[in-house]
Amino acid sequence: MPKAGVKERLEYWLVAGLAGVLGSLPRPIARRLAGLHTAIAYRILSRLRRVGERNLDLAFPSLQPEEKQNILRALFRNLGWQMVEFSRMPRYTPQNTRDWLRTEGLDHYLAAKSRGKGVLVLTGHLGAWELSSFYHSLMGHPMGMVIRRLDNTLLDAYVNRIRCLHGNRVLHKDDFARGLLKAMHEGGTVGILMDTNMTPPQGVFANFFGIPACTGSGLARVALKTGAAVLPGFCLWEPGEQKYVLHFGPELNFVRTGDSEADILAATEQCNAVLEDWIRRYPGQWLWIHRRWKTRPAGEPPLY
């Protein structure tokens, strides 16, 4: 275990202890307990709530206040449920998850994988994003994940150990380009969260809900360079089924005109359009409390 200071150790034991409690309770009880705590968090975390309200104003300007509140309450509940699933992931097997977790569109993934040029899974902070890659590996399809290192080295090691229990591997954002290209050349699979605010030159301004958003261009650059397949993948709670469903959408087709920078921008905007479509379908499961439009084009005023 990495060396750490007192604060890091306290944070680690707090999180690990909470995970131990949630992981030991029956799943329905743990979900109800997490829902209660996140309902309280919704009320007391006013700064995050204001960010969420602002984002909803930007994305859905016609929403009524009550509708925004309902979406944000659903988001906080979703975050609590995801904490429960993460706490229980070490004990999950294909057998004990079959009643509440399934995959849809796996044929899209398998067809893309069979081409042998690698697969880039376009995803975001929608639904149970930690559960998605974990379940995919649990069912025999390990993959790489592009992530940012946690500031707490103990928590970083703890979280990554669970993520990688069934063959997944971590590619850190501070040095992912080389690993990403290597994975594609080997015909591997890597998931990329594309819905976070970036800064130039790592990001380009691509429309997202009709507003320019500084978006990571790495996926588009690698796909256009290597010919890797790109398809969306999201693990979403389906209330009608009372199940999580790991959805894989059809493969995206990027246009190559010979103008590399224009092609990268067009492909990035295409990815944003796909993300937006899924978020519109499941608005209560996206991370509205992230300042997605923080970075602005030169000369534009801040939105927050």
How high is the pLDDT of residue 3? Answer: 63
Residue 276 has pLDDT above 60, yes or no: yes
Average pLDDT score over residue span 59-73: 97
**Separation of alpha carbons 77 and 94, rounded Å:** 25
Coil, strand, or helix at residue 70? helix
Residue 37, both tokens: 């705590």
How high is the pLDDT of residue 178? Answer: 84
pLDDT averaged over every residue in the chain = 95
**Separation of alpha carbons 238 and 241, rounded Å:** 6
Question: Which pLDDT tens digit goes with each residue over 133-187?
Answer: 999 999 999 999 999 898 999 999 999 999 999 999 999 877 778 889 999 999 9
How high is the pLDDT of residue 273? Answer: 98
How high is the pLDDT of residue 173? Answer: 78
The answer to whether the beta carbons of residues 220 and 268 sit under 8 Å apart is yes
Q: Where are the domains of the chain?
A: 6-285
Question: Which pLDDT tens digit goes with each residue over 71-115?
Answer: 999 999 999 999 999 999 999 999 999 999 999 999 999 999 999
**Separation of alpha carbons 28 and 231, rounded Å:** 32
Other CB atoms within 10 Å distance of the CB of residue 304: 12
Average pLDDT score over residue span 249-272: 97
Average pLDDT score over residue span 243-271: 97
**Separation of alpha carbons 51 and 45, rounded Å:** 10
Angle at CA of residue 241, ends 85 and 91, nearest 5°: 25
Kindly compute the dihedral angle of the four CA atoms of residues 273, 279, 281, 284, in this order, to the nearest 10 degrees: -170
Residue 228, both tokens: 């890797």
How high is the pLDDT of residue 1? Answer: 47
Kindly compute the dihedral angle of the four CA atoms of residues 212, 60, 85, 141, in this order, to the nearest 10 degrees: -50
